[in-house]
Amino acid sequence: MSMLSRVANNLYWLARYLERAENTARLINVNSHLLLDLPTRVKLGWEPIVDILSFRTMFYERYDNADEKSVIRFMVVDENNPGSIMSALDAARENARTVKEILPQEAWEQLNELYWFVTDNKADVFTRRSRYDFLRKIIQANQSITGLFSGTMTHDDGYDFLRIGRNLERADMSTRIIDVRSASLLTNIDDDSSAFSNIQWMSVLKSMSAYQMYRRQVRMRITREDVLEFLLLESRFPRSLLHALEQVEYSLSQLPNNKSAIDKTRQLRNYLMNARPAKLVQEKLHEFIDDIQLGLIEIDTKLYDSYF
Amino acid sequence: MAIRWGNYKVKNLHDELIRAAGKPRDYAHQLCEYLKGLTDKEVNELKAAADSAIHVMGITFRVYNDEEGSVDRAWPFDIIPRLIDKKEWDVIDNGLKQRVKALNMFIDDLYNDQRIIKDGIVPASLLKKSKNFLPECQGFSPPYGVWAHICGSDLVRDNQGTVYVLEDNLRVPSGVSYMLENRHVMKRVFPEMFAKYSIMPVDDYPSQLYNMLADISPRKIEEPEIVVLTPGIYNSAYFEHAYLAQQMGAELVVGSDLVVQDDDCVYMRTINGLTRVDVIYRRVDDWFVDPEAFHPDSMLGVPGLIRAWKAGNVGLANAPGSGVADDKVVYAYVPKIIEYYLQEEAILPNVPTYKCNNKKEREYVLENIADMVVKPANESGGYGMLIGPHATKSEHEKFRKLIKSDPRNYVAQPMLMLSTAPTMVGTKVEPRHLDLRPFILSSKEINVTMGGLTRVAMTKGSMVVNSSQGGGSKDTWIVDMEDDQ
């Protein structure tokens, strides 16, 4: 039985929204911790979080200051922000609802539970004490949903669309995090702050859950170049950009009618591997990431042309 | 102790579980004993377990109201099951099969020879004014002469204990998924009761539905392509559409997923291109199913669907036009319809029904409106009804006017005192009125669900059981008392 175009599209977006919710939860958790470690005179603050999702204009239409409370409200519970965790989970659930008949029942139940958990406990995110557990629960539930997909669902076309959605979203979020974090990083820090520079690169790694794996591989002190190399090009690390693109390519290879999307993905992967991005200065890195973002959009367009 | 049957008042009522104060019916004895042994704490735990199962399983229904628009509500469920002795059920099962068989013969006749009208059993005027008669379907007969493949008939019991058919839903009856899910919830909450009783299983419904649909496939192939056509996620029964598709392993489609090509065959859009569709279980109303044949601005349907169906290239369940028999005026004639086609007396009685298009009966209704239930011919879900004894004088007057201006559109029935069953109110039990909707599947053969969906009016004294109007539900157990355990 071949898959309905509409269903393939819903699965793709279901996975994207889930990944978005998870990444946002990680991002906010890490930022909360980072701010505790930085001296108070360093004004890193919460604005970069808004910038990562390119929501600056929308944010300032609705809030006066990028203080902790406003940014967290905006990014976690604000249903008028289509990128908030609440909105992403709502959209994931609506997409899942329309394809409920092909998802593993347990995954649907888990998603429902997560949705109600966030709806019922969203006040927890405003207190620093309970925030960590609240966000960790979101991350864990997402991980278990992904695990249920992988462990209890037939790895057929539908699964490939889930995997494509997840990896494209991950690639998108990773590159946004790298872009904004590396730009906002050092600007406010004077000469005696190299320890803090270290902390900040650690936080970039942690935002992508890469710190521990990075450490296992790169034992020396944390440098910008090594971190970028790891996050962009370490194909064995599942949250790296290269790994995500390889996964997209592999999933596409399982699908019918895949030529144009696969060509686009390969092209982007080759671009990534030849650009030596870790060596780029900040300005060039930004341009490079813009190109990657455009490439991801083009892959999405090809998917629409071929399947949806 | 939470539940004391001695305090449970059944005077002037027919209760499904309790015969007289403190005395359960034979088949309810074990259940009542078990419930009596529960503490308040245990009752609350059981209720919480059921709520959490419903929550986690995502069992919801949609309601519309002025304040909030369309909202998803958790399915309201009572943990005490409603029991029926299998001996009694076997009679009901036969009665339903007989009724649906005759109704299908009636529909097939109306769209073809109209013998029943020529023979003067039902008046020709009945058909002329029927909103659900589709002239487009005339001269056509689907496989096995079956039009209403899925029928949901509402049964009620009065305070004398007699079971009546209240109405037959032959268009797109809903509720069966709740019947199935109620059972799943009960198995999670009351596993011990399933060991004590021999409860007839309900979960083969999806495979029976699949087989019935496969039977009407025009292509006789190993695995016909069966789809469930839904109006979409904002439909109040969407949960059920998705549920049934999932249970049958069928594709759930919306109108825009399907297309009728020049060869008059139906196809669905897939990632491989177009794939032929053999049978459509459509949950879209007649009027919206094909903008080419009916409402030109319908976004829910598939242009050309009726053309493909009449060309014999796709099976449609229920067949368009089967709603002609789902009309509260036709209902009044069903006992005669059964006699006419089957030469048998109706096994299940109708509720006495006054047809307002008959002068004498109309006058009786206008006179006694305060004691009667008045129903419009073609509404469902409890909309547009008058419940005389609970209505105000000005509402009575309003309905008198409505009836006089359009007598064909109204029937009236005496107010029945529906039977009750013990229902949890806090940690106590109180009697609440209920009905029962079994589902009947017809194509090559006829199958009736074991029990059905019991709907219960959660408000004290109320007889309105529709979920859109605040009703809840119970699991329905057909118990075989002769099967010794």
Chain B residues in contact with chain A using a Cβ-Cβ cutoff of 8 Å: 55-58, 225, 233, 238, 242-243, 245-247, 250-254, 256-257, 268-273, 275
pLDDT tens, B34-75?
A: 999 999 999 999 999 998 888 777 677 666 555 545 566 777
Residue B248 vs residue A220, higher pLDDT = B248
Q: Which residue of A has its CA nearest to B268?
A: A4
Instruction: Name the nearest CA neighbour of B319 among B457, B140, B463.
Output: B140
pLDDT tens, B418-450?
A: 999 999 998 899 999 999 999 999 999 999 999
Out of B99-103, B270-274, B479-483, give the one with best mean pLDDT. Answer: B99-103
Alpha carbons A219 and A223: distance in angstroms, whole number? 11
Cβ atoms of A86 and A118 closer than 8 Å? yes
Look at A2 and B275 and tell me if their CB atoms are within 8 Å.
yes
Instruction: Show residues of chain B in contact with A3, CB under 8 Å.
Output: 270-272
- For an interface test with A, the pick among B71, B228, B271 (most A C-beta atoms closer than 10 Å) comes out as B271
pLDDT tens, A148-191?
A: 999 999 999 999 999 999 999 999 998 988 887 777 655 444 44
Look at A101 and B252 and tell me if their CB atoms are within 8 Å.
yes
* pLDDT confidence of residue B70: 57
pLDDT tens, B452-461?
A: 999 999 989 8
Q: What are the residue boundaries of the structural domains of chain A, listed by start?
A: 5-306
Say how many CB pairs under 8 Å bridge A and B: 68
Alpha carbons B282 and B141: distance in angstroms, whole number? 18
Which residues on adjacent β-strands are paired with residue B266? B260
Alpha carbons A63 and B50: distance in angstroms, whole number? 42
Alpha carbons A90 and A82: distance in angstroms, whole number? 10
Residue B408 vs residue A39, higher pLDDT = B408
Look at A6 and B257 and tell me if their CB atoms are within 8 Å.
yes
Alpha carbons B222 and A190: distance in angstroms, whole number? 75
State percent of chain A over pLDDT 90: 58
* pLDDT confidence of residue B313: 97
Instruction: Show residues of chain B in contact with A94, CB under 8 Å.
Output: 233
Could you tell me the two tokens for B212?
């019935």
Question: A72-81, A276-285, B99-108, B268-277: which has the minimum mean pLDDT?
Answer: A276-285
pLDDT band at B236 (very low <50, low <70, confident <90, very high): confident
Could you tell me the strand order of the sheet in which B266-270 lies? B258-260, B266-270, B273-276
- Which value does ipTM take for this structure? 0.72
Assess whether pLDDT exceeds 50 at residue B154: yes
Is this structure's pTM higher than 0.80? no
State percent of chain B over pLDDT 90: 67
Instruction: Name the nearest CA neighbour of A85 among A26, A143, A162.
Output: A26
Strands, E assignment, chain A: none
Cβ under 8 Å to B: A residues 104-123:
108-109, 112-113, 116
Smallest CA–CA distance, residue A98 to chain B, in Å, is: 7
Smallest CA–CA distance, residue B278 to chain A, in Å, is: 13
Cβ atoms of B374 and B153 closer than 8 Å? no
State percent of chain B over pLDDT 70: 95
A148 vs B: CB within 8 A:
no
pLDDT band at A296 (very low <50, low <70, confident <90, very high): very high
Smallest CA–CA distance, residue A141 to chain B, in Å, is: 14
